[in-house]
Structure 1
Amino acid sequence: MVSEEYWGKHSKAPDARSIQEDSQFHVASVRKCYIGFAVAYAVHHGYIESIDDEIINYLNLDNKLLKKITIRHLLTHSHGLNTTKSKIIREFEPGLSWAYRDINIELLTQVVKLTTGKTIAQILKDEVIIPLEFKETGWHDEENEKLVQVIREPNNKFWSTCKGTDGDRKNMYVSTRELAYWGYTHLKEGFINGKQVVSKEILNLTTTLQSPCLLNKELPQNGFLWFVKELPARNTEIGELVPKESYQILGYTNVALLVIPQHEIVAVRMFNSFGSTPGYDYLSDIRDFGDTLLRCI
């Protein structure tokens, strides 16, 4: 631990608890790196033969729009699917472009559960949470004093009220330290205190570039849902100064985890503000997070 700082309160209530070491933040889409781990677990153990398999090989869904879409497309946001009024639509042919949508997560969690017979949460518990002795990482339906309240507009259309503890919902909470240690586990390839605690092969699979060769070279690049820095790209969410082979995951609550292997650095920021306020440039801000870090070293 090189630097650590907390400030603020759990909510706007006058008697709100102060943010501290055991405060657990709603991490929003940062949960996807845990889901990516579960998919990599299924691949590593042979439940999924190849990420280039079409998803209709694993899902009992009769929808012609799912044809030709592979697990790789889902993992790298290159599937081209979206939903409108609960109906699946296609925005572009799979593998030709990139778009950040939620339907790929819904499909991936179904594939994991059907192939392994386990939920995302069960896989994480056995492979990560118990081995790393995590106490502040998990899915919560009910409030408790350690959960930081998310500040948001009451009727924000992107906010999910879905409940469940299987790991397929948007209700994951993690403390700052445990999110940082999750990144550190990747940095050390699962080898902690002289022991292989988490599978090196699974971790490396998740953070290796998996994106298909897209026509637009300026689009972001992904591993197993992680954003990875491989080729220069104007639309990447990783800062320009951040070196190659770094990887990052971020969420709409402005939470971010960045791992920079070249400098052996893991950095985390946690917020409890949901979405982007008027005049706030989210893409510029998240790039500056990594660039500021590089300027400091």
Structure 2
Amino acid sequence: MILKKDNDNTYLFNDVRTHVMESAEKLGASGGALLIIQNDKIATESYFGQQSHAKHARNVQADTQFHIASVRKAYIGFAAAYAIYNGYFSIDDPVRLFVEDSHLSAYEGVTIRHLLTHTHGLKIADDNQLASEYKPGDSWAYRGPSIELLTMIIQKTTGQSIAEIIKSQVIEPLGFQSTEWIKMSKPHSKIADAIRDADDRFWTETDVVDGSRMNMYVSAQELALWGYIHLTEGQWAGKQLIPREIIQMATSIQTPKPTLPIQKNGFLWFVKDTNYSFNQIGDTVPKGSYQLLGYTNVALLVIPEENLVAVRMLNRFGSSKGYDYLSDIRSFGDTVYKCSLKSTMH
């Protein structure tokens, strides 16, 4: 880690640690991690449990890598911002410019912006064909086709895969060692098992490591530092390592009709605006905060107003019966924010 630990004030975030451990128990996770950065120091860092439920399983520790599921969209959003910043395409370019099946009526009116903000209206219909659910920009829905299209468009225009862009622009410059797409046929000893139901239809295993699939594993430390370089708008160890405009583009509201009562997004990040019952960020968390969540119950939350990054790592793929995911993740953010205020006043 490039940051020093604030050992004197770690106790101020005890409520967050308790919250994470209680969530892990409710979910049946075998282990987890919590790491919070505030005011350019590590405010708290803890690891608990094992990497799997197997007997003699490796303890979760600083180099343990967790399956981050949809939190990987922060990296896809970054790659899209990188491509736009470097002139490969524009945010309001029609998707039809880049797809081979451009004749399909479902693409009518859909732009890159719509893909990045989940306002595209695209879905896979019952006949396994691409269809339009609503007029682009008029609503919001969390659907898979947008991610497949984005990764394809980025690779087609830049000549680089998501993984190649992240490696050259992030992993190598920042010296990351525990951020990677893993061949699931060749897992290594530092990977936490994704605890899941035997019949979970969302779980997939792949050896594709170009960044287009959901097999990205990251340590708590490096996920927190990834959030931190967003918080600093690209500054790292006193240098502007990533152009500020790339980070600002990715983390500010890009939703085409921001006055609509729908979830707001930057480049795939959820961005806090007005309080709505469907928000995945807690009511007390201030406006301008942004977050991404994974189906493995991983969370990355950035609260610029408090100069804070919070990472929760768990290894439960999906949810246990009766577990209220939305309530739990909103409560996590609210607890982080409450403790951050105590830290500020201390």
Distance (Å, rounded) in 2 between the aligned partners of 1:161 and 1:140: 10
51, 54, 64: which one pairs with 2:94? 54
1:263 aligns with 2:297: no
Which whole-Å CA distance do the structure 2 matches of 1:189 and 1:23 have between them?
Answer: 27
2:295 alignment partner, one of 239, 252, 264:
252
Superposed CA offset, 1:83-103 (max 9, x none): 145321222121111111111
Report 1:25-44 matches (<5 A): 25-44=66-85
Take 1:82 and 1:163, find their aligned partners in 2: how far apart are those partners? Answer: 26
Query: Hey, what does 2:201 align to over in structure 1?
Result: 157
Partner of 2:273: 230
Asked if 1:24 corresponds to 2:42, the answer is no
The answer to which structure, 1 or 2, has the higher relative contact order (CA under 8 A, 6+ apart) is 2
The residue that corresponds to 1:272 in the other structure is 315
The answer on 1:2 being equivalent to 2:2 is no
Tell me which amino acid in the other structure corresponds to 1:88: L
Query: Does the residue aligned with 2:139 lie in a helix, a strand or coil?
Result: coil
SS at match of 1:198: coil
1:237-283 CA distance string (max 9 Å, x none): 11111011110011000000000011101000000001121111111
Name the structure 2 match of 1:239: 282
TM-score between the two structures when normalised by the length of structure 2: 0.83
> Could you report, residue by residue, the CA deviation over 1:133-152 in whole angstroms, capped at 9, with x for unpaired residues?
00000100121100100000
Residue 100 of structure 1 aligns with an amino acid whose one-letter code is Y
Q: Which moved more, 1:187-196 or 1:19-28?
A: 187-196
Of 70, 76, 93 in structure 1, the residue corresponding to residue 117 of structure 2 is 76
Counterpart of 2:147 in structure 1 is 105
Shift in Å at residue 158 of structure 1? 1.1
Deviations 1:102-161, CA, capped at 9 Å, x for gaps: 110000001101110100001001110011100000100121100100000122111122
How many residue pairs were aligned? 295
Aligned match of 2:138: 96
> What is the CA–CA distance in structure 1 between the aligned matches of 2:206 and 2:134, rounded to whole Å?
28
TM norm structure 1: 0.96
Deviation, 1:216, is 4.6
1:244 counterpart letter in structure 2: K
Higher strand share: 2
Q: Give the partner amino acid of 1:6.
A: Y
Cα separation, 1, equivalents of 2:96 and 2:263: 26
Contact 2:258 / 2:264 at 8 angstroms: preserved in 1?
no
Match of 2:247 among 199, 203, 227: 203
Whether contact under 8 Å (1:238, 1:286) holds in the other structure is: yes
Partner of 1:128: 170
Aligned partner of residue 2 in structure 1, secondary structure: strand
Q: Percent identity?
A: 51
Provide the C-alpha distance between the structure 1 equivalents of 2:301 and 2:241, rounded to a whole number of angstroms: 21
Q: Which amino acid aligns with 1:256?
A: A
Amino acid at match of 1:151: I
Within 2, Cα distance between the matches of 1:215 and 1:92?
A: 17
Note the C-alpha offset of 1:199.
Answer: 2.0
Q: 1:193 is matched with which residue?
A: 237
Q: Corresponding residue for 2:52?
A: 11
The one of 126, 139, 145 equivalent to 2:181 is: 139
- Establish whether residue 179 from structure 1 lines up as the match of residue 220 from structure 2: no
Distance 1:275 1:251 in 2: 9
Secondary structure, aligned partner of 1:5: strand
CA contact 1:131–1:198 (8 Å) conserved in 2: no
Secondary structure of 1:131 counterpart: helix
Instruction: Give unpaired runs (5+ residues) of structure 1.
Output: none
8 Å contact kept, 1:96–1:215 = no
CA-CA distance at 1:231 after TM superposition: 2.6
